[in-house]
A and B are shown apart, each in its own frame.
Chain A
Amino acid sequence: QKEVEQNSGPLSVPEGAIASLNCTYSDRGSQSFFWYRQYSGKSPELIMFIYSNGDKEDGRFTAQLNKASQYVSLLIRDSQPSDSATYLCAASSNFGNEKLTFGTGTRLTIIP
C-alpha cells in the first residue's frame, strides 16, 4: 500500500519566521511530489511540485526532496497570517496522467 505520511499538527509559527512542513512516503516508485494548500471549506490549490533530488524555490516557498530518505519538505519563509491553512503532501508514480496519493495534511497556524 502506497502511503504518504505527514505530522497532522497543528503547527504554530510566529509571523515572519520560517515554517517547515515534512512528509515521508513509502513507495520507492514515487517519482513526483506535490504540495497543496487548502483553506478551510475550499478545494486544494497547488503550491509547487518537485521531482528531482535537492531544492526547488518559488518565491517564499522551497520544496526539498531526498529520494534516498524518501522525504519531502516544504519551507515557507517570512510566514504570513494568510499562510495559515492545511498543507497536503501528495505523491505520484508518474508525472503525467497518474493519480495522486495524499498525506493526511498538516494544519499550519501563523501567529501575528
Chain B
Amino acid sequence: SAVISQKPSRDICQRGTSLTIQCQVDSQVTMMFWYRQQPGQSLTLIATANQGSEATYESGFVIDKFPISRPNLTFSTLTVSNMSPEDSSIYLCSVMQGWKGYTFGSGTRLTVV
C-alpha cells in the first residue's frame, strides 16, 4: 500500500490564524481526499483534490475556508483559514489504490484556542 506522510501531526493555533497541512504520497495517485474527524465523530469528506484542476468541495465546505493545492500527483495541501475553536478536529488525507482500498495518512490533530 501507498505510504502517506502527513504533517504536522498536531498543532495548537490561535483563533483567526491559518494552518496548512501537507500530505505526501510515495507513489503517483490521481485523486487525493481530505477528511475531517471531529471529536468523537466519524469522518466527513471536505474535498477531493485532482492534479491540475480545482478541488471539488462537499456541501458545507468552501474554498475560502479550506483552500487546497495539488501541484503534482504525489502532493497536496489543505489550509484551514481564519480558524475558530469549531475547527478543532483531526484532518486526514487519503488516497485510493485500486483493489488495495483507501489508505489514510496519520492525521493532523488541530486544536484552536
**Which residues of A come within 8 Å of B, CB atoms?**
34, 42-46, 49, 88, 90, 96-105
Contact = CB atoms under 8 A, between A and B. Distances in A.
Interface residues of B, number: 22
B103 A99 contact: no
A97 B30 contact: yes
Contacts of B92: 43-44
Interface of B: 30-31, 33, 41-45, 48, 58, 92, 94, 96, 98, 100-107
Contacts of B31: 97
Given A43-B92, A43-B107, A96-B96, A104 B101 contact: no
Nearest to B48: A99
Contacts of A42: 106-107
A17 B105 CA distance: 32
A68 B50 CA distance: 34
Contacts of A43: 92, 104-107
A29 B3 CA distance: 30
A100 B104 contact: no
Given A97-B30, A98-B96, A46 B42 contact: no
